[in-house]
Amino acid sequence: MAANLVPAAVPVADIAQARGVRECLQWFTHEKQWINEIQLDLCRIPAPTFLEQPRAEWMAAQLRGIGWKSHIDRAGNVVAFLNEKSHGPYVALTAHLDTVLAPRTKDDITVGPDGILHGPGVSDNGSGLAAVLAMARVIKASPEMEDLSAEPLLIGNVGEEGEGNLTGMRWLCKSDLARDIQTFLVLDGASTEHITTRALGSRRFEVTITGPGGHSWSDYGVGNPVHALGRAVALFSEARVNGSPRSSFNVGLIDGGTSINSIPSLARAKVDIRSESNEKMEELVALLNAAVERAQEQENQRATGGKVTAKVKEIGARPAAELGEQIPVLAYIRAVDAYLGIRSRLDCSSTDANIPLSLGIPAISIGSGGHGGGAHTLKEWYNPEGRDLGLKRIFLTLSLLLRGPRTAE
């Protein structure tokens, strides 16, 4: 990486002690009740993947009420500028709007007597969205956000979870706006213990096997899609992924058939392949295709009647990528953690940061503070105790990014 990208010094203490910044940092502690309440409100708006619009409209309205210029783009993302004359360059602070599971009613999102939030999506990513709204308020009120080298851009994006395939982030990174975004700071979940700088790649497939179907007795002998699919899964599961680069695969869904005494006409499975390496994922994809082809051949060799046909369709792809060690955002977040006494580690995960990283745009993903657990289940929880530390971390990192690096000679 070019030497002029390396910050010569990271003046965290100087910035943190500046009067305006110090007041902003104190605000996160003073206004923790408002932050908790706004998180409760947003989490009660269902936003399952592909159905985020009600929450997006609510989020855009909240940002407008705070004084930002917000709109919903063609992909469904909420995009907010500090003022009408914003022209970049930008530092984008993002959090995904969607959840794996959604509350059926507002009563599914509760607060215990200990202040802990319970319900689907309260941590992933209710905490991230609440942090974006907190930043919106504090930035709008801060005189320290003037005369900077970049402008803040706030985003609530769609399609991060499940089969959303990072739709919102893909749209953003292909749009004209992306040319003016210097760095993405992605908020996902609660934990402040990690800094995601390596994008875990994933490829997802739907395997479909069809056949003539029929009665289990009178039509016995025709090709059976479920039998073929079972063979394909068994053959693929023999793949070995031990060692480096770390990789995994999972058959997470299987369906097909209509009754116990009917030969099914269709069977389907959904397969998730992950790796730190794009090349390793390609190897596993080839093994999957070979397993399906072999299973089809074996079932058709056995069949005395109609044959089966197999198809493998890719339904999602997240590229693996990595942030360079000399990129300023990494130096900034490490310096902020040292200043705040946060012990963090670099990690590899699948987040919205996958897309900008794969395109060479600096990006990291971090938690927004507090503590959470039970993600992607109905028993998800979020404890806001200590959230202000995570918010201070975000604000200081954002402040450094907006000011730009002091470059080494």
User: Measuring CA to CA, how many Å separate 358 from each of 153, 247, 320, 363?
Assistant: 21, 18, 7, 10
Partner residues linked to 318 by β-bridges? 202
Report residue 91: phi and psi, to 5°. -115, 120
Residue 147 predicted with pLDDT over 50: yes
Residue 5 is predicted with a pLDDT of: 56
- 204 pLDDT higher than 60: yes
Residue 206 has pLDDT above 50, yes or no: yes
- Beta-carbon contacts of residue 59 (< 8 Å; ≥ 6 apart): 42, 70, 78, 97, 129, 133, 156
Q: How far apart are CA 189 and CA 187, in angstroms?
A: 7
Q: What is the pLDDT of residue 83?
A: 87
Q: Decide if pLDDT at 408 tops 60.
A: no
Please answer whether residues 262 and 211 qualify as being in contact, where contact means their C-beta atoms are separated by less than 8 angstroms: no
Residue 113, pLDDT above cutoff 80: yes
Instruction: Inform me whether the pLDDT recorded for 47 exceeds 50.
Output: yes
Q: Residue 328: its pLDDT value, please? A: 94
Q: Above 50 in pLDDT, residue 407? A: no
- Residue 145 in this model has a pLDDT that exceeds 90: no
Question: pLDDT tens across 237-271, in order?
Answer: 999 998 899 999 999 999 999 999 999 999 999 99
**Residue 87: what pLDDT?**
85
Give the pLDDT mean for 143-147.
68
Q: Is the peptide bond before 125 cis (omega within 30 degrees of 0)?
A: yes
* 41-45, 83-87, 257-261, range with the lowest pLDDT: 83-87
CA distance 229 to 296: 8
Residue 409 is predicted with a pLDDT of: 36
Q: Is 404 exposed, middle or buried (0-12, 13-18, 19+ CB in 10 A)?
A: middle
Distance, CA of 157 to CA of 132 (rounded, Å): 12
What average pLDDT does the chain have? 94
For residue 4, what pLDDT is reported? 44
Higher pLDDT, 78 or 144: 78
Asked if pLDDT for residue 375 goes beyond 90, the answer is yes
59-65 contacts, C-beta under 8 A, 24 or more apart: 59/97, 59/129, 59/133, 59/156, 60/156, 62/38, 62/133, 62/136, 63/133, 63/136, 63/154
Q: Please state, in angstroms and rounded to a whole number, the distance separating the CA atoms of residues 404 and 149.
A: 6
Reduce the DSSP state of residue 70 to 3 states and report it.
strand
- How far is Cα 210 from Cα 296, in angstroms, rounded to an integer? 10
Please report the domains of the chain, with CATH numbers, ordered by start residue.
Answer: 3-199+320-403 (3.40.630.10), 202-318 (3.30.70.360)
The least confident of 39-43, 144-148, 169-173, 228-232 is 144-148
pLDDT of residue 148: 85
Higher-confidence residue of 288 and 10: namely 288
User: pLDDT band at 365, cuts 50/70/90?
Assistant: very high
- 75, 171 Cβ separation under 8 angstroms: yes
* Residue of 404 and 240 predicted with greater confidence: 240
Model pLDDT, residue 405 = 65
Question: pLDDT digit string (tens) for 54-74?
Answer: 999 999 999 999 999 999 999
CA atoms within 13 A on the CB side of 72: 15
Whole-angstrom distance, CA of residue 126 vs CA of residue 95: 9
Who has greater pLDDT, 326 or 386? 386
